[in-house]
Each structure stands twice: as structure tokens, then as C-alpha cells.
């Protein structure tokens, strides 16, 4: 059984290495900044998740001290990776794109990076929309 | 067997750090550099956890958690500075 556990952990570690390397290699190889956003935010996050699963299995199955700290780190990383990707994409758009180049939002307000946030509508005592 | 896999994963993440360093040095846009720094933080978290597995100690979670939080906050702060010219308005 010990052998089976070791094989399982080894598989996760090798997967982690391959995914992490793929993410960082994509950062070098892809041509455009918007394309480069894909590789690290997805593949590297998956690689780190795999490392953390391997760590949890190692301490739980072989050392016999199960802990959920790794799950905490995994959840944190999986929550923050899309936010950072969104922020970096917005930074790139704000620095390199004009409002004419991108399509309309088809909503009442335009793109958040080019326009001010919408003002709240004030309704006075007679039910009229005030300034 | 786990030792070999650990060395393999550490090597992969180390080479990944070198790739990130190349992108920080070359990357034409500021967004590329921020992205490379963020990826570097993620790779460092993976390396810290791998080092913890190799040593067989559970002392390194706190370190990796701290690195994750500081990395996220610094990435957001850098992006906000470039977007708005100010971090906290």
C-alpha cells in the first residue's frame, strides 16, 4: 500500500512540474501580451494546485498527520488568479487600446477603464429624478 | 521515488523562474512585467511547498501563505498604480 501511495504522490509531483514549466514557457514563447496572459494564469496555477495536493497526500498518507493548510493556500490562489489576470488585462487595455478600437458594451454604460463610474440617481420628495 | 519526483518538480519550477526572469528583462509592455512578477510569486510558492515536503516538516505553510498574500496585494497595487496613477484613492 505504501508503494501505491508513493506512486500517487509521484504522479502529482511530475504533473505539477510539467504544468509549471508549461506555464512559464508559454510566458516566453507566446507572441502577444494578451496571449501571454493565458499561460501563467491557468497552467501555473494548476501546477501549484498539483504541488499542494501532493503535499497534502504526503503528509496525510505517509507522515500520518493530515492537515488542511494546503487547501487554504489552494483556495486563496484559485480565487486570486482570475482577479490578477483581469487587472493585468485592464492595465494592458488602458495603456494600449483606444475606445474606438474595442466593441460597444451594449449596455447603458461604456467600458469601465475609459469612462467614469455611473452616478447614483437621486429621487426627491415628488418622485422626480433630481440632479 | 518521491525524492526523484521532488527534484524533477524543483528543476521544472526553477527553469520556470528563469523564463520569468527573461520576460521581466525583455517584456516590451509593463503588463508583461507585472504578469511575469506574478508568475514568479506563484513559482516561489510551489518551490517553498516542495522544500517543505523534502524536509518533511510542516513549518513552511505559513511562509507560503504569506508569500501568496503579499504577491497578490503587490500585483493589484502595481496594476492600480498604472491604471489610475494612485493606489488608494
- Cell digits for B74? 503587490
| Contact with chain B for residue A105, Cβ under 8 A | no
Nearest CA-CA partner of B73 in B38, B24, B36: B38
From A108's Cα to the closest Cα of chain B, the distance in A is 23
Give the closest-approach CA distance of A103 to chain B in angstroms: 20
- pLDDT per position as a tens digit, A67-99: 788 888 889 989 999 999 999 988 888 888 887
Burial of A106 (0-12, 13-18, 19+ CB in 10 A): exposed
Residues in contact with A107: Cβ distance below 8 Å, sequence separation at least 6, in sequence order: none
Of B9, B16, B31, the CB nearest to A91: B31
Smallest Cβ–Cβ distance between B29 and the set A10, A33, A40 belongs to A33
ipTM exceeding 0.95, yes/no: no
Instruction: Give B61→chain A minimum CA distance, Å.
Output: 7
Give the model's pLDDT for residue A131: 52
pLDDT tens for each residue of B9-68: 999 999 999 999 999 998 788 889 999 999 999 999 999 999 988 888 888 888 889 999
The 10s digit of each residue's pLDDT in A46-57 is 999 999 999 888
Domain ranges of chain A: 2-130
Q: Say which CATH number the domain at B30 has.
A: 1.10.287
Higher pLDDT, A17 or B86: A17
Residue B16 lies inside a defined structural domain of this protein: yes
Percent of chain B with pLDDT over 70: 99
Say how far apart CA B68 and CA A44 lie, in whole Å: 14
Residue B89 lies in a domain: no
Biggest alpha carbon–alpha carbon distance for chain A:
78
Domain coverage including residue B45: 2-84
How many independent structural domains does chain B possess?
Answer: 1
Amino acid at each position: 500500500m505504501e508503494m501505491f501511495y508513493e506512486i500517487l504522490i509521484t504522479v502529482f509531483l511530475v504533473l505539477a512540474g510539467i504544468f509549471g514549466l508549461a506555464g512559464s514557457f508559454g510566458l516566453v514563447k507566446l507572441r502577444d501580451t494578451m496571449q501571454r496572459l493565458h499561460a501563467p494564469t491557468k497552467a501555473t496555477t494548476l501546477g501549484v494546485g498539483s504541488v499542494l495536493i501532493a503535499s497534502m497526500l504526503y503528509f496525510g498518507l505517509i507522515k500520518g498527520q493530515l492537515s488542511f493548510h494546503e487547501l487554504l493556500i489552494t483556495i486563496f490562489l484559485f480565487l486570486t488568479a482570475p482577479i490578477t489576470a483581469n487587472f493585468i488585462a485592464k492595465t494592458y487595455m488602458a495603456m494600449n487600446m483606444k475606445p474606438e478600437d474595442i466593441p460597444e458594451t451594449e449596455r447603458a454604460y461604456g467600458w469601465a477603464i475609459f469612462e467614469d463610474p455611473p452616478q447614483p440617481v437621486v429621487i426627491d420628495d415628488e418622485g422626480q429624478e433630481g440632479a | 521515488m518521491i525524492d526523484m519526483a521532488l527534484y524533477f518538480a524543483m528543476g521544472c519550477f526553477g527553469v520556470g523562474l528563469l523564463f520569468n526572469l527573461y520576460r521581466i528583462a525583455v517584456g516590451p509592455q509593463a503588463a508583461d512585467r507585472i504578469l511575469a512578477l506574478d508568475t514568479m510569486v506563484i513559482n516561489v510558492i510551489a518551490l517553498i511547498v516542495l522544500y517543505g515536503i523534502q524536509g518533511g516538516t510542516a513549518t513552511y505553510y505559513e511562509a507560503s501563505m504569506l508569500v501568496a498574500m503579499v504577491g497578490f496585494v503587490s500585483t493589484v497595487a502595481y496594476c492600480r498604480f498604472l491604471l489610475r496613477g494612485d493606489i488608494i484613492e
